[in-house]
């Protein structure tokens, strides 16, 4: 059955790939981002199934307007994907208040706004699916110059888990999922705040394409689970990290010094 799916951060990268993937299979996609030209180009790729809505998702009122636009046009929302995000290239000791506030606004608060905007509709229907796109780096500190980005994604992980537990008790028909990609071949590094840095691929893993991550999210939408790493190698690294944090971080520090 086709669904109405809202995707933030949909003008490029994972969001754009996901929009195209879902529209190709018959879903209707409501696409949100700040860049009008890029957003409309993605919507055009989606044909009649794509609705572009220019929005800055760090502003609560614009996220509410996005939700209202989707409901007004299609009458219902089945899935809300909080995908908008931005990185940073600064170690912890160089971070400013502005750096941290910016990372939290884009990577955490935008998701909170989306959750709170769509929840009343999901609660009224008794069903729905919230998908938060986080990062493997929110679990494992392997790329430390991403610092505040990693911290914001770790906060998103916790926010997602707490929401999921709450709704399991009160609204069991509403699914809440967390997606954790690793390095993805997009413009993410180029668009990060701070000095330009190359993408760092953790040992034993590889960079994925946006289309591979989109396929993983599409599968998750069809068969909801609590959380998913888009690469099995990332899951294995996360398990190794939590089995012995001190030893893992010592090895990671030695590798960085080399």
Label residue 255 by pLDDT band (50, 70, 90): low
- Residue 251 counted as domain residue: no
Label residue 257 by pLDDT band (50, 70, 90): very low
Over 70: is that where the pLDDT of 232 sits? Answer: yes
Rounded Cα distance between 129 and 163, Å, is 12
Rounded Cα distance between 162 and 203, Å, is 31
The whole-number pLDDT of residue 213 equals: 96
The H or E element spanning position 129 is strand 128-133
Dig out the tokens for 39 from the structure. 């957003």
Poorest-pLDDT segment among 5-9, 121-125, 160-164, 232-236 = 232-236
Average pLDDT, whole number, for the chain?
Answer: 92
Q: What is the pLDDT of residues 86-100, one digit of tens each?
A: 999 999 999 999 999
Dig out the tokens for 6 from the structure. 């809202």
Rounded Cα distance between 148 and 54, Å, is 26
Q: Give the domain CATH number at 18.
A: 3.40.50.720
The model scores a pTM over 0.85: yes
Q: Are 185 and 208 contacting, i.e. CB atoms less than 8 angstroms apart?
A: yes
- Residue 199 counted as domain residue: yes
Q: What is the pLDDT of residues 46-84, one digit of tens each?
A: 999 999 999 999 999 999 999 999 999 999 999 999 999
Label residue 206 by pLDDT band (50, 70, 90): confident
The whole-number pLDDT of residue 196 equals: 52
The three-state secondary structure class of 81 is: strand
Residue range(s) defining the domain that contains residue 91: 4-231
Strand 50-54 to 28-33 pairing: parallel
- Residue 223 counted as domain residue: yes
Residue-by-residue DSSP string for 188-244: TTTTSEES-----PPTT--PBPHHHHHHHHHHHHHS--SEEESSHHHHHHHHHHHH-
Label residue 258 by pLDDT band (50, 70, 90): very low
- Residue 62 counted as domain residue: yes
Determine whether 84 is exposed, middle or buried from the number of CB atoms within 10 Å of its CB (0-12, 13-18, 19+). buried
- Residue 253 counted as domain residue: no
Over 70: is that where the pLDDT of 184 sits? Answer: yes
Rounded Cα distance between 11 and 16, Å, is 5
Beta bridge partners of 92: none
- Residue 256 counted as domain residue: no
Q: What is the pLDDT of residues 99-156, one digit of tens each?
A: 999 999 999 999 999 999 999 999 999 999 999 999 999 999 888 999 999 999 999 9
Rounded Cα distance between 142 and 136, Å, is 9
The angle subtended at Cα 207 by Cα 82 and Cα 85, nearest 5°, is: 25
- Residue 240 counted as domain residue: no
- Residue 254 counted as domain residue: no
Domains identified in the chain, total number: 1
Of the candidates 149, 229, 241, 242, the residue annotated as catalytic is 149
Active site residue 149: yes
Dig out the tokens for 230 from the structure. 């888009």
């Amino acid at each position: 059955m086709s669904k109405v799916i809202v995707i933030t951060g949909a003008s490029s990268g994972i969001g754009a790939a996901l929009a195209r993937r879902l529209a190709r299979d018959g879903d209707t996609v409501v696409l949100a981002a700040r860049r009008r030209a890029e957003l409309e180009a993605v919507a055009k790729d989606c044909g009649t199934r794509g609705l572009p809505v220019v929005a800055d998702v760090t502003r609560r009122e614009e996220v509410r307007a996005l939700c209202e636009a989707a409901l007004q046009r299609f009458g219902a929302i089945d899935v809300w994907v909080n995908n908008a995000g931005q990185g940073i290239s600064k170690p912890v000791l160089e971070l400013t208040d502005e750096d941290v506030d910016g990372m939290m606004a884009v990577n955490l608060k935008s998701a909170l706004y989306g959750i709170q905007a769509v929840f009343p509709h999901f609660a009224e229907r008794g069903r729905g699916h919230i998908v938060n796109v986080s990062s493997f780096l929110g679990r494992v500190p392997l790329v430390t110059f991403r610092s505040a980005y990693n911290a914001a994604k770790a906060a998103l992980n916790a926010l997602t888990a707490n929401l999921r537990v709450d709704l399991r008790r009160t609204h069991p028909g509403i699914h809440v999922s967390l997606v954790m990609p690793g390095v993805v071949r997009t413009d993410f590094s180029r668009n990060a705040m701070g000095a330009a840095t190359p993408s760092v691929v953790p040992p034993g893993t590889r960079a994925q394409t946006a289309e591979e991550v989109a396929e993983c999210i599409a599968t998750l939408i069809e068969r909801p689970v609590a959380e998913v790493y888009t690469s099995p190698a990332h899951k294995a690294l996360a398990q190794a990290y939590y089995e012995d944090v001190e030893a893992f971080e010592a090895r990671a520090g030695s590798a960085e010094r080399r």
